[in-house]
Structure formats: C-alpha cells, structure tokens
Amino acid sequence: MQLSALNSQVRNDSVTALSERAHSLCALARKQEEAGDFEAACATIREFWERVGDRPHVDGLDEVVRGEVLLRAGALSGWIGSARRIFGAQEIAKDLISESATVFENLGLDERVAEARIELAICYWREGGYDEARATLRQVLDLLGDRQSEQRLRALLNSALVERSSMRYREALHVHKEAAPLFENSSNHALTGKFHNEYATVLKNLGLAENREDYIDQALIEYAAASFHGEQAGNKRFLALVENNVGFLFVRLGRFGEAHEHLDRARTLFVALSDNGMIAQVDDTRARAFLEQGRYGEAETVARGSIRVLEEGDEQALLAEVLTTRGTALARLRRNDAALGILERAMKVAQQGGDPDGGGIAALTIVEELGSIVPFAKLLEYYRDAESMLTRSQHPGIQLRLGECARRILSNQEHGDAGLGDRFALAPLGANGSGSKQSAVNAQSSASNEQQVACSLEEAVLRYEGDLIKRALEASGGSVTRAARMLGITHQGLAFILNGRHRSLLSARTPIKPRRRSIIRYRR
C-alpha cells in the first residue's frame, strides 16, 4: 500500500513538472509570437509540437496546460501557414484552436476561451470568411462584457480589421474611435502598435475615397505611432507591414518615388524573415504602383509572380485581389482574352473564399476595362453581379464606379440585345418575377417595347446619378468643388447637372468651409 501511494506520488510529481515546463515554454512562445518571431516560437515549443500538420504531444499534461499547448500550436500553424503558403494550414489551425477553446470552456476560463476564439477569428479572416470572423469576435465581446482586459482590446482590434477588410469603413472607424481611450492606457507596445496601424489604414481608405486631407494627415501620424510602438516591441515583421501600408498610401497620392522607397524597405525586411506571403503582398502593392505609373508590362510581371506564391496557400481573398491587379494590367496591355479569364477567376476565388466585395470588384473591373470587347448581354450580367456583391460596401469610390459603369452600359445599349433592357426595369414582371401569360398576350409591338426599355434605363440611371451626387455632396460637406472631384467631373459640369437634371439637390449645397493646410502636398 505504501509502495502504491509512493508510485502515485511520483507520477503526480512527474505530471506537475512536465506541465510546469510546458506552461513556461508556451508563455515564452506567446511573447515571441507577439513580437512576430514565429520561427523562434516554434522552436521554443518543439518539445511538444514539431511542425504544421503534426498533432501536439499533450499526453501527461494537466488540462489547463493541454489547452495552452493546443492553442499555441494552432495559432502558430495559422501564422506559419500564411508566411510559408502552406495549403490547408488554416483548417489545421482552426481544428487545434477549437479544441483548445473547448478545454478552456470546460474549465470555466473565460479569458482563455476569449483568446482562443480571437485566434479562430483571425484564421477565418485570413481565408476571407469575414462573416464567420465577425460572428466569432462578437461572441468574444459578449463573453467579456465591459471588463478591462487585454483580450477585449484584441477583440476590438480584430473587429475593426474585419470591418475594414469588408470595406465597411464607417463601422471600422467607429470601433477605432470607441477603443482609442482603452489603447491609450495599454502598456502592450505590440498590441498598441497594431491598433495605430489599423486606425491609420481605415483613415487612409476613407481619406482617399472622400478626398479628406485631414484624414490623410491623421493617417500619416497614426502610421508614425505604429512604427514607434513596433520598434518598442522589437517586431520587425510588423515594421515591414507598416512600411508596405505607407508605400501604398504614397502610391495613391502619386508620390511614386517615396512609395517605391517604402516598398523596398518592406520587401527587404520580409525577405530577411522568409515571409513569402507578405513578400507577395508587397509585390502586389508595387504592381499597383506600376499600374498607376502606366508601366503595365512591369505590373503584369510582378503580379504574376505574386499569384504564384499565393496559389500555394489558402488565403483566397488576398489571391482574388492580386488576380484583379493582374487582370487589370493584362487588359491595359490589350491582352483581352487573358484578362477576362484572370478576372473571372478572381470573381470565383473571392466568392469561394466568402469575400463578396472582392468578387464584386473583379466583376466591376471587367465592365470598366473590357466593356468595349465583351458582348452587351454578358457585360450586363457582370454589372449586375458587381452591383449584387457590392451591395454592402461603404466605399464611396465603389458607388461612383458602379454609377459610371451604369452610364457606360446605357450609352452602349444600342449595340446590344434589345430584349435585355428589362434587367434594369424597376417594376417586377409578376408575382414570381417571370410575368404572366396574360401580360404576354397583351404585349405591345417590338418598337413600343424598345421605347419602354429605353425609358426605364434612362429613369434608372437618372435616379442612380442623383443618388451618387447626393452621396458625394454629403461626403464633401456640401462643397460642389470637392463633390465634383469625387465624381470625376469639373465644378462647372456638376453645377450644370444640379441646375438642370437634379434641382432637388441644390439645397444640399453649402458654403465651402475653410480647411487647414495639409501637411502633405497632393499630386493632382
């Protein structure tokens, strides 16, 4: 009996010692992961987990530590899978993370459950599953309530990231403004740096879309703050990400020399880290710079190389973006058949990845870049696909592009099939959308039908034009000059339209408010 008790005590001591060691190693790996040193984090817990795709060694560990090992292995599988373009890595990561969440739930450890679910949401985000990521993060915020904790900050940060990725910029901006005071009190440089970077990116997107110079100025300040905190955290990977983001901003401002300098620094850092996924993203940014510069051949070459890398992983939303970049370059090189094939693939990839916005942008790009060579009936289908997939987009630029495409289709309608105009009709054809036999019997002559179709198209586009002008005036604070710039027309042109076709919108005009001078100089 005494011998049995002694053996039991030895086994318990062994389990305790092993669990304590695993707990210490997981804590260190988490710090290394937070600093962006994923290779070091993997090496730290190699005694319990060897590589992506392997099952962690959790036998002999107590329940809490078993959950910790599963969580670290899952989180690192997601990060390493993204960096190395390992296909299926996100599914592997989600399985391990979900198992860890179950362990923590059974133990009643809310903070650990929250940490696991945040990592799960990040996996969904990488795949382009924004709705799943959004729902998962909402669960976390409901679980944590108003408690002041690091996991709540992480949940808020990633919620804003998901909204920004979904082009729901107003929601993202709201989250950032609400969370800003909480991050000011945080001593976690890595987390605070990510907050400033995301905040800057949202401001950048809104500033560019709405010609808000104050937003652009603030974005540059936020990027500087992000770099400061990244340096304090010693996270080179994050610093490279900020360089890429600043480079993209300068691309959009037409400051290409500075843009390429930032992109060079970002790529050098990512190459040193062997992060092929981020190298591909920097290359996509450079390809977009080449597009803006009219260097279409170089843009296509760079984008093609980026696609080869991204095809090896499972981040479908990102792959769709780069496919759209390459398709645009091919179209401008007049390689129309190849461009159409690539852009159709971008639509399919985005939809499969749960990213309707990405699919909508690809469809919209087909209408914009290939409208002169695509048959009218097919062009109309692409437009309707784009309009449907982008219905939730809050990007003002997207709405303006849709409106311009509608006008192009209207002007080209005479070259297409006369019977397709009913797609633009505002009234339903029947109870089930297909019309009735009686209406077919009572149909008027072909000439009369064509006249009605043309009228429906003109009314629909007039209403669409009015809605776009109203949005532009609201976004510009009533300034006709800025609204005209957003719409891509002259001040005189917009004034003529307002006084002619849309007099009901004249009340939306307000005196131009004096604005402070921008700290940067725009290239117009």
CA distance 381 to 321: 21
Q: Which of 177-181, 209-213, 326-330, 415-419 has the lowest mean pLDDT?
A: 415-419
Using alpha carbons, list the distances in angstroms from residue 295 to 25, 220, 247. 50, 27, 17
Q: Is residue 440 in some structural domain?
A: no
What digits encode the pLDDT tens for the residues 372-430?
A: 899 988 998 999 999 889 988 877 778 888 888 887 777 665 444 433 333 332 222 22
Q: Which of 9-18, 180-189, 233-242, 346-355 has the lowest mean pLDDT?
A: 9-18
For residue 245, give the nearest of 272, 271, 227, 268 by alpha carbon.
227
Three-state secondary structure readout of 63-104: HHHHHHHHHHHHHHHHHHHHHHCCCCHHHHHHHHHHHHHHHH
Please state the domain count of the chain. Answer: 1
What digits encode the pLDDT tens for the residues 73-83?
A: 999 999 999 98
CB-count burial class (<10 Å; 0-12, 13-18, 19+) for 349: buried
Taking phi over 0 as left and psi of -120 to 50 as alpha, with beta for the rest, 75 belongs to alpha
pTM of the model: 0.71
Which residues lie closer than 8 Å to 111 by C-beta, 6 or more apart?
Answer: 144, 149, 151
Greatest alpha-carbon pair distance for the chain in Å reads 104
Q: Quick one: pLDDT band at residue 523, thresholds 50, 70, 90?
A: very low
What digits encode the pLDDT tens for the residues 106-128?
A: 999 999 999 999 999 999 999 88
Q: Is residue 323 in some structural domain?
A: no
Residues 477 and 510 sit within 8 Å (Cβ to Cβ) = yes
CA distance 40 to 36: 9
CA distance 524 to 513: 21
CA distance 201 to 450: 47
Q: Is residue 507 in some structural domain?
A: yes
Q: Is residue 486 in some structural domain?
A: yes
Which residues lie closer than 8 Å to 384 by C-beta, 6 or more apart?
Answer: 423
Q: For the chain, what is the radius of gyration of the CA atoms?
A: 27
CB-count burial class (<10 Å; 0-12, 13-18, 19+) for 334: exposed
Three-state secondary structure readout of 110-179: HHHHHHHHHHHHHHHHHHCCHHHHHHHHHHHHHHHCCCCCHHHHHHHHHHHHHHHHCCCHHHHHHHHHHH
CA distance 343 to 511: 43
Q: Is residue 499 in some structural domain?
A: yes
Q: Is residue 192 in some structural domain?
A: no
Q: Which of 88-97, 375-384, 445-454, 474-483 has the lowest mean pLDDT?
A: 445-454
For residue 45, give the nearest of 62, 31, 64, 63 by alpha carbon.
31
| Residues of the domain holding 461 | 417-426+447-514
Residue length of the chain: 524
pLDDT at 111: 96
Residues 513 and 477 sit within 8 Å (Cβ to Cβ) = yes
Q: Is residue 62 in some structural domain?
A: no
Q: Dihedral sign for Cα 242, 243, 246, 251, please.
A: negative
- Written as six digits, the tokens of 178 are 């609400």
CA distance 23 to 45: 10
**pLDDT of 258 higher than 90:** yes
What digits encode the pLDDT tens for the residues 501-521?
A: 787 888 776 544 444 444 444
Q: Is residue 151 in some structural domain?
A: no
Q: Which residues of 162-199 are buried (b: 16+ CB within 10 A; e: fewer)?
A: bbbbbbbbebbbebbeebeeebeeeebbbbbbbbbbbb
**pLDDT of 160 higher than 70:** yes
